Structure 1
Amino acid sequence: MTDYLEKILTARVYDVAQETPLEYASRLSIRLHNRILLKREDMQSVFSFKLRGAYNKMAQLDAATLERGVVAASAGNHAQGVALGAKYLGTSAIIVMPITTPELKVKAVEARGGVAVLYGETYDDAYAHARELANEKEMTLIHPFDDPEVIAGQGTIGMEILRQHQKPIHAVFVAIGGGGLISGIAAYIKRLRPNIRIIGVEPIDADGMKQSLQAGKRVKLDQVGLFADGVAVKQVGAETFRLCQQYVDEIILVNTDDTCAAIKDVFEDTRSILEPAGALAIAGAKAYVEREHITDQTLIAVACGANMNFDRLRFVAERAEMGEQREAIFAVNIPEGPGSLRRFCECIGKRNLTEFNYRIADQTEAHIFVGLQVANRQDASQMAATFEANGFKTLDLTDDELTKMHLRHMVGGRSPLAHDELLYRFEFPENPGALMKFLNRMSPNWNISLFHYRNNGADYGRIVVGVQVPATEMEDWQAFLRTVGYRYWDESSNPAYHLFLA
């Protein structure tokens, strides 16, 4: 068994890494009635903790091995850590990156002396190619998480936390992708202060560690969500899984809106902008406080990365209000007649409107799509009750993904010609030709009756498609879904779709 305490204490990370501050988040602490401390790994030179483990691994290699060079697979943060470490140690580094990797991260690798090779659409594709290159060129593969030296390098964060805050700590929150970061931190903290809770945080659509711990074995996910790309891992490591079984107390899942709200929280306290994966721990700490109703405790969240694409900020800003439960979205039916709209607006009162869409439906009623600023989720429920009490049939769409992503931009599009229409959402890697690849796979006999695409400045694209598929061709449609290769959701029964578009 590896002695991680010794490995962490003797890890070589400070040639390239700095001891990052443990910073008090005053605004967030006041709001949550607890002391929230942020471990600022986003302040490393590569804006991520990843250089600790990568460099520690490379620093352990003998001179002959190091001279042959290193290979890594990464979508960004690990890549930059390996490139920087290789430059410091005077060796070459080949970094295999998925073709969907943002240009910002590719250039960051090249600026640090690494050779970027774009290959495949996913991390798994890139990793397989990296292994081939390592074997072919007799270079050393630097794994992003499932390696004791990498884990020990990340564990120096736990060492710093205990040295920087020697008073009681209730819990430490850590994002989980492959598990290297939380494994190293937990292995150190649990050996010295086992009463501190170690809590992992994963996106609800990339929860490989949670599912694995529940199953008692490593589970490989068929697909992972792409928003928090830094933790988009289909299968956690064998060694990281073992350590998490031993040391991690629980795992909390958060959604995209929670993550966006956490990015905003950190910005308001620090004026720094975390990437989605970097903000997971903060989102998890907020969810934990809400669930446990604790006060006056010290909670530490590892802000583990800030490699954020600027174009993605638009999406984050839109969804942050949802994550903070400060915006509610409703579809409201009102009688079509004089005075109805005025009565509806009187119900809203002095609340701030975030969105208001109106379109006549028929001679008897009109549909209104409205967004309102609210104090919390209970406030939203009370607003819906007010509408209903005044005779307006109301549908609360605040938690409906189709509405938040697409319908709020498409309200009012009905057509008597859209017979046999199916409505599906698709998510695909955002790279040249992806949309055409999708369309080419569809049967030319199927008419597209509705189509909405919005570029969110992210590594992925999302579309909603209305397709007219005759009942006799449903088997062909199902075959298309099985082979298209993209994540999809059937929204044909969505009540918002039937209200505004069907």
Structure 2
Amino acid sequence: MEKVTLQDVQEAKEIIAGVALKTDLLENVRLSEKTGAKVYYKCENLQRTGSFKLRGACNKIAHLTDEEKACGVIASSAGNHAQGVALGARNAGIKATICMPANAPVSKVAATKSYGAEVVLHGAVYDDAYEKAVQVQKETGATFLHPFNDKYVIAGQGTIGLEIFEQLDGNVDTVLVPIGGGGIIAGIATALKGLNPNIKVVGVQTCNVPSMKASFEKGQVTTAFNDVTIADGIAVKTPGDLTFDIIKENVDSVVTVTEEEIAQAILFMMENQKLVSEGAGAVSTAAILSGKYKPAKGENVVCVVSGGNIDINTLYRIMSVALNRQGRRVNIVAELPDVPGSLSKLVEIVAKCGGNVLTITQDKLSTGKYLKLQTVEATIETIDFEQIEKMKSEFIENGIKVEFL
């Protein structure tokens, strides 16, 4: 195993000091009250380029030879490493080509291009983009910058751990870190365990792509992919062998969270901390909210918010899911007699129960079993599930057949 040491991380801190920001460490009072612990956010979503990836990319570029720089660099990325490499390459005056999944968020693609990089879109997940990058690298001779399985990249990401330790004056008990390929958690674990081996480091993955958890449990690098995920930044089917070796040695446990739990965590962070997080950045919060990780009372817990580069359209869809799961929005389909006053009665009941109609569609041209009936579809803003149940009872009492979706 290629060793990454605390000294490597400390050297990386000096190298990237002029580029990467020392991001804020903020307490989330709501989570602290909920758990009895002191819960903090390490806000890498506020980093330049909106993600921690800038740290590792700039440290790696700084270690390239003049010959390697002359050939330009190529990288594969779900979006955040892309921006880090693009900005680092621009600062170093070298050409950058980035291969990204075809479904990468539009905002990440646009941002990468804005830093002067050439973008090649290919495949559905990071691993597909990686294969394309390998092909392009062979054709062009560019220097490949791996997003996680690289000593200098890992050391750069580890500077987050140094900052956390400094910002809490060494009083750190547990750090929750997102895992995709493993670069950020390998770096943070190397730094923190080097400073204090009693600090607990917990990795968090999405259930849809639990590759590092599967590897951690089997004791060897394992490929795992169940479905696509809103946490595109950690959608890595096969983790790195270097990162795995470090994680196996320095990480205490790995937990997984569902897509719904991630969506609710994104909403929670916006409402309670005024922070915008992408799916990958929200998994550490999701682990606590879901109970997958339960902090001990009185301990200092840090949730690493790895990035905030989320597409607005994606955010809108995620918010809709989260609001539905919390009973704060509901969709209904109603069958009403096709007579005057039927629709107004339905709306009257919604208003009586305190609901707010956001959208409504009426269809009076149905045939077959819907003859002399009209169908109404509506999205209603609600307060909670209790209010929804009250609305159901009112519909039943008034003889209105309604399906709640």
TM-score, normalised to structure 1, is 0.66
Alpha-carbon shift at residue 111 of structure 1 (Å): 1.7
Change (3 A) 1:33 1:370: farther
Contact 1:32 1:286 in 2 (8 A): no
Deviations 1:230-273 (A, max 9, x none): 11111111111122222232323232x22222222222244332
Matched residue type, 1:60: H
Give CA deviations for 1:308-356 in whole Å, capped at 9, x if unaligned: 11222321221222454656789999xxxxxxxx9xx99x985647799
Alignment partners' CA distance in 1, 2:392 and 2:312: 39
Report the counterpart of residue 402 of structure 1 in structure 2. none
Letter in 1 for 2:179: I
Cα drift, residue 106 of structure 1: 2.5
Q: Is residue 2:36 matched to residue 1:16?
A: no
Give, in whole Å, the separation in 2 of the partners of 1:219 and 1:295: 35
**SS of the residue aligned with 1:225?**
coil
Q: CA deviation at 1:124?
A: 2.6
One-letter code of the match for 2:32? Answer: S
Q: 1:84 aligns with which of 77, 83, 87?
A: 87
**How far is 1:47 from its partner?**
0.4
1:69 maps onto 2:77 in alignment: no
Code of the residue aligned with 1:250 in structure 2: it is V
Instruction: Return the offset for 1:372.
Output: 8.4
Compute the displacement of 1:60 (Å).
1.0
**Within 2, Cα distance between the matches of 1:77 and 1:382?**
43
The amino acid that maps onto 1:249 is S
Aligned equivalents of 1:292, 1:380: Cα separation in 2: 30
Query: Is 1:172 equivalent to 2:175 in the alignment?
Result: yes
Quote the residue 2:270 is aligned against. 267
* Secondary structure at 1:316 match in 2: helix
Q: 2:258 aligns with which of 254, 267, 283?
A: 254
- The DSSP-based 3-state class of the residue aligned with 2:303 is strand
> In structure 2, what is the Cα distance between the partners aligned to 1:331 and 1:29?
40
CA–CA distance in 1 between the matches of 2:391 and 2:286?
A: 27
Give the letter for the 2:313 counterpart: D
Instruction: Name the residue aligned to 2:366.
Output: none
Distance of 2:404 and 2:254 partners within structure 1:
32
What is residue 96 of structure 1 aligned with on the other side?
99
Rounded to whole Å, the distance in 2 between the matches of 1:383 and 1:211 is 44
> Closer, same or farther in 2 for the Cα pair 1:173/1:288, shift >3 Å?
farther
Q: Quote the residue 2:210 is aligned against.
A: 207
Cross-structure match for 1:232: 235
Query: Which structure 1 segments of 5+ residues have no match?
Result: 334-341, 398-502
RMSD: 3.9
SS at match of 2:244: helix
Partner in structure 2 of residue 141 of structure 1: 144
Distance, in Å, in 2 between the alignment partners of 1:326 and 1:197 is 36
Compared CA separation, residues 171 and 393, structure 1 to 2 (3 A): farther
Letter of the 1:210 counterpart: K
Q: C-alpha separation between the residues in 2 aligned to 1:34 and 1:331?
A: 44
Give how far 1:307 is off: 1.1
SS of residue matched to 1:23: strand
- Give 1:282-321 correspondences, 5 Å limit: 282-288=285-291, 292=294, 294-321=296-323
User: Counterpart amino acid of 2:256?
Assistant: I
**Quick check: 2:165–2:172 contact (8 Å CA) kept in 1?**
no
Greater alpha carbon shift after TM alignment, 350-359 vs 176-185 = 350-359
How far apart, in 1, do the equivalents of 2:384 and 2:173 lie? 26
Decide whether the 8 Å contact of 2:74 with 2:142 is kept in 1: yes
Shift in Å, 1:227:
1.7
CA distance in 2, matches of 1:171, 1:396: 41
Kindly provide the amino acid, as one letter, of the partner of residue 20 in structure 1: T
Separation in structure 1 between the aligned mates of residue 218 and residue 108 of structure 2, nearest angstrom:
35
**1:225 CA displacement:** 1.4
Q: Quickly say closer, same or farther: Cα 1:295–1:91, change in 2 above 3 A.
A: same
Residue type at the aligned position of 2:215: S
Give 3-state SS (helix, strand or coil) of 2:181's partner: coil
Secondary structure class of the residue paired with 1:46: helix
Q: Tell me the equivalent position of 1:4.
A: 5
Distance (whole Å) between structure 1 residues aligned to residue 72 and residue 242 of structure 2: 25
Give distance in 2, aligned partners of 1:145 and 1:183. Answer: 9
* Distance in 1, Cα, partners of 2:185 & 2:329: 33
Residues 345-395 of structure 1 show CA distances to partners (whole Å, capped at 9, x for unaligned) of: 99x985647799999x899xxx99998888888x699989989x99x9999
Shift of 1:304: 1.0
Please list every run of 5 or more consecutive structure 2 residues that lacks an aligned counterpart in the other structure. Answer: 336-344, 364-368
Per-residue deviation, 1:28: 4.2
Which of 18, 39, 42 lines up with 1:39 in the alignment? Answer: 42
Q: Equivalences for 1:41-60 in 2 at 5 Å?
A: 41-60=44-63
The number of residue pairs the alignment matches comes to 394
% identity of equivalent residues: 33
Does structure 1 retain, via aligned residues, the 8 Å contact 2:295–2:301? no
Task: Specify the alignment match of 2:222 in structure 1.
Answer: 219
1:151-208 deviation per Cα after TM superposition (whole angstroms, max 9, x unaligned): 1111110110001012643421111111111111112112322333212111221111
Which letter does structure 1 place at the counterpart of 2:45?
Answer: D
Q: Which amino acid aligns with 2:6?
A: L
TM-score (norm 2): 0.80
> Relative to 1, partners in 2 of residues 1:122 and 1:352: Cα closer, same or farther, differing over 3 Å?
same
Distance 2:302 2:274 in 1: 19
Q: Distance in 2 between matches of 1:350 and 1:158?
A: 50
Distance 2:110 2:370 in 1: 55
- CA 1:324–1:244: 2 relative to 1, 3 Å: farther
